[in-house]
A and B are shown apart, each in its own frame.
Chain A
Amino acid sequence: MKSARVPVPLLVPAVLGLVFLILPLVGLLARTPWATLFDRLGDPGVVTALRLSLLTSTLATVLCLVLGVPLAWLLARVTFPGRRLVRALITVPLVLPPVVGGIALLLALGRRGLVGQWLDATFGITLPFTTAAVVIAESFVALPFLVIAVEGALRGADSRYEEAAATLGSKRWTTFTHVTLPLVAPGIAAGAVLCWARALGEFGATITFAGNYPGVTQTMPLAVYQTMESGDLEGAVVLSLILLVVSVAILAGLRDRWLTAP
């Protein structure tokens, strides 16, 4: 880049913004008990929570892909009455505090919830306090990220390729799988990464809807919180650091492959 003069009114807030984002991470590193770090890493509680976090956020991403890509396609390619309303509804979990999302999930899928009641009575399935509930809570908050990213990719993709496929005898479903999906694959990948990152960091909806029990529903963010609560600040810092390192490592790994900005 050429060393053009950057106007001060832009430079100062920009630098402040950067410091604002980086300072807390520096704080975390500054308080890290490096001496005992490796002992704590091997702690079975840490391993359990980390494994559960990686498992649930990956499953949540898969669920979001299965539900979110068709939903994004519908929004991007089909004109139907109330489409704007549907799009607005999809973005609600983005602005909703996750705890509220958790309560809403309880009222819908909990043992006494609208659907949960029926699930319990008919199949004997109760979702709260299960690993499935963690996946559901994470999917609930992460799905909008995926839908918005994929819808954007679909809108950006040239729909005339789909017309070309139709003139070659391709039915809509085949066109979707053989033409549309490959065309928007980078957008889907970006959406999935965002979705996964959001699911990994999920706290409020999870603790409210899925509860907190080690090995079943206690993901890393919950473990961090509980460790902090119990006064073990050092432990909380170690757990936070692990979560930070794992997420940054995975995002950086994917970034080279999928998320290279144009």
Chain B
Amino acid sequence: MRFAVAAGLTAGMALAGCGGGKAGEPMASGSAVTGTITVFAAASLTESFTTIGRRFEVAHPGTTVTFNFAGSSALATQINEGAPADVFAAASPKNMQAVTDAGTPATFVKNQLVIVVAKGNPKGVAGLAGLTRPDLKVALCAEAVPCGAAARTAIEASGVKVTPVTLEQDVKAALSKVKLGEVDAALVYRTDAKASAADVDAVEFPESAKAINDYPIVVLKTAKNPAGARAFVDYVLSSEAATVLTGAGFQAP
């Protein structure tokens, strides 16, 4: 079924003259998809999607996957303003709903918050309650982005009052403030903490279970390369991709 759809759409694409693969390559070569696939993905997916994209390109010669990693809300706004995206992978369903031209999204992973602190946890941060200490500088994500929304949910669930010094535009910005030593702690995804394990330590906290993010992915209705987009989404949902994602610290949906 997948091949049939892809082939039909690829033919249409070739007519439109925007095939990016090797010209004249017979479609029977095993790869039914070609061209550039533009993927807008949440900042927390940076490392795992970069790996997945590379593997996808190997599995589908003639394709190029380009990524735009940013805060999910920024990506949603960009898509609504007509940014040329084929696939959107958000860090929360809320941001996915904000996109008017999304198809039917599929959840491919879940993610959970941890507290990241400087290597060796010099300030001895133990849990969410520890973040209320006045001598501690804390960075959170802005509430518009999923990690910020999740942080808020978790903090409210814990009943403590955390006053951050800054509301960062995406999870990576919050993480980098810890890496730079400008803040003592930040709430980021477990995956981000794992990706930067060389620089930071992660402190798990129980309330994070109340704020688990579902990551939805979708082929956008406005996709310029719907065949390629479909193929990429299918790949993300495949077991090969799942290995990469769980390796990065994501949980299976």
Q: Which residues in window 39-73 of B have CB below 8 A to A?
A: 71, 73
B195 located at the interface, meaning its Cβ lies under 8 Å from any Cβ of chain A in the complex: no
B145 located at the interface, meaning its Cβ lies under 8 Å from any Cβ of chain A in the complex: yes
Contact A110 B182 (CB under 8 A): yes
Contact A229 B74 (CB under 8 A): yes
Question: How many contacting A-B pairs (Cβ < 8 A)?
Answer: 68
Q: Which residues in window 205-226 of A have CB below 8 A to B?
A: 207, 211-214, 216-218, 225-226
Interface centre among A106, A217, A228, A231, by most chain B C-beta atoms within 10 angstroms, is A231
Query: In the complex, A218 Cα to B181 Cα: how many Å?
Result: 21
Chain A residues with CB below 8 A from B137, complex form? 126, 129
A179 located at the interface, meaning its Cβ lies under 8 Å from any Cβ of chain B in the complex: no
Given contacts A229-B142, A229-B144, A231-B80, whether A129 and B73 have CB atoms under 8 Å apart is no
Report the nearest A residue to B145, measured CB to CB.
Answer: A229
Given contacts A228-B77, A229-B144, A230-B144, whether A212 and B182 have CB atoms under 8 Å apart is no
Given contacts A106-B182, A229-B77, A231-B98, whether A217 and B166 have CB atoms under 8 Å apart is yes
Count of residues in B whose CB is under 8 Å from the partner chain: 26
A112 located at the interface, meaning its Cβ lies under 8 Å from any Cβ of chain B in the complex: yes
Contact A111 B182 (CB under 8 A): yes
Query: In the complex, A126 Cα to B181 Cα: how many Å?
Result: 11
Q: 30 A-B contacts, Cβ less than 8 Å apart? A: A106-B180, A110-B182, A111-B180, A111-B182, A112-B182, A129-B165, A207-B169, A211-B168, A211-B177, A212-B142, A212-B166, A212-B168, A213-B165, A213-B166, A216-B165, A225-B169, A226-B167, A226-B169, A228-B74, A229-B71, A229-B73, A229-B144, A229-B145, A230-B142, A231-B73, A231-B77, A231-B80, A231-B144, A233-B80, A233-B81
Known: A207-B169, A229-B74, A231-B73. 18 other contacts (CB 8 A): A111-B181, A111-B182, A126-B137, A129-B165, A211-B167, A211-B168, A213-B165, A213-B167, A214-B167, A216-B165, A226-B144, A229-B142, A229-B144, A229-B145, A230-B144, A231-B77, A231-B95, A233-B81
User: Which residue of the partner chain, among B73, B139, B177, B181, contacts A230 with CB atoms under 8 Å?
Assistant: B73
Chain A residues with CB below 8 A from B77, complex form? 228-229, 231, 233
A159-191: CB near B (< 8 Å → 1, else 0) gives: 000000000000000000000000000000000
Chain B residues with CB below 8 A from A128, complex form? 165, 182
Chain A residues with CB below 8 A from B71, complex form? 229
Interface size class of A (residues with CB under 8 A): 20 to 34
Name the distance in Å between A98's Cβ and chain B's nearest Cβ: 15
